[in-house]
Amino acid sequence: MGISIQSIHFDATAALEMFIEKKVKKLEVFYGDILETEVVLKVVKPETAMNKEALVKVRISGSELFASKVSDTFEESVDTALEAIQKQLIKIKEKGRPK
């Protein structure tokens, strides 16, 4: 599975990138046929509190899943976005076929 991390208008720390890679790799437990995962991080409104947005795109054979979450920290945003992706993967796996 390929993982790409993109941070828009700022440089993501190595610790943040390692956190994201660790969390994304856990998705394989729920669905083994993940082709590629793309994570985009950006600051929505720098002067407000809830301003860290994480967009997660996961490509599986025959489908593409997407989740976007905004919260106080990038870690929290990534966590909640990956939880949404996880629910989508479980739903697809239970159906037995990609959408």
User: Which position has the token pair 């409104």?
Assistant: 45
Per-residue confidence (pLDDT) for residue 26, from 0 to 100 = 92
Confidence of residue 97 (pLDDT cuts 50, 70, 90): low
Q: Is 18 helix (H, G, I), strand (E, B) or coil?
A: helix
CATH number for the domain harbouring residue 47: 3.30.160.100
Q: Is the pLDDT reported for residue 99 higher than 50? A: no
pLDDT digits (tens, 9 = 90+) for 43-92: 988 777 889 999 999 999 888 999 999 999 999 999 999 999 999 998 98
Q: Is residue 58 within 8 Å of residue 47, measured between CB atoms? A: no
Q: Which of 39, 38, 41, 31 is nearest to 7 (CA)?
A: 41
Q: What's the structural domain count of the chain? A: 1
Domain that holds residue 85: 2-95
